[in-house]
Structure 1
């Protein structure tokens, strides 16, 4: 059986070229991720805290006052854990907190009077230094594109527009339902910072 020399040349060419192309793409992704890491390091991480205002109001409308109070108390504890995780572990960039109810203001770049003090009260004296390079972190019910469904976890977006691509740690699963490996807010923040620093900062 005769082998076409041209086929051999093409085969060798593809054997050499494809790995190089894959490596080139990987290097570009790494450089892009490091650029976002630099922007975060020089900018601010805005952490979104939830209040479940709509849900609790619906419960009160149905005269389920105790249930509404229990939900508010649970959410307040979750917010406290998230706040303490970022203020005690996270050192990679400046960090500010705001309520999800003010997300429309963030989207419109109206930052005055929305950031929270350590008592979870809005404080107009707290300001965002860089209104261009900021990232938003959300811990809660997150849509994971890889799984095509909502799951509990951690999501970081650039200016609430899109999550930076891998290897930037835009998404971290909470692993809910598995007590042994389920991540707390402290675990999530620790993993997030470790990954950021592994990318060169």
Structure 2
């Protein structure tokens, strides 16, 4: 276990290698799971505020589901999450498939198109790191939890490119914890877990 500031980080985040391979997984993390994407309390108002700017990226089915369920829903096990089409383990309402069958996030598309300044929920940006706050809010935990089948191509691709998990997820780590935190994590990782050859 690595400790940086008040965050406990699984060694696997430094030791393992991972690079998403969308051509293989098709963005299946937006669809496979027990509920929609977990949302932080501070993200709830953002979902409402930004909705008018991303609605044009959504499918008619998704718009109908959002009108019925709301921009976010409460799940008894996971707290606030994005709604999904139909049951809990179906595609996130904010996801749409492109011509290649790859699921794209409406928020992320609008971000890249310069329409909004928020990329997507931090839980989505972090995946396959699962980040949780401690019960008393005094520390956070970061665990590496790739999906066994879905993420197999990403694990292979990461090994091929020799990219550790924390390097692949540098942007969301900095987004959540800042540059100094990332630099400290990188130093600990390089000192204790030299790159695999």
Q: Identify whether the pair has TM-score above 0.5, normalized to the shorter chain.
A: no
The structure with the larger Rg is 1
TM-score between the two structures when normalised by the length of structure 1: 0.27
Higher relative contact order (Cα pairs below 8 Å, separated by 6+ residues): 2
TM-score between the two structures when normalised by the length of structure 2: 0.27
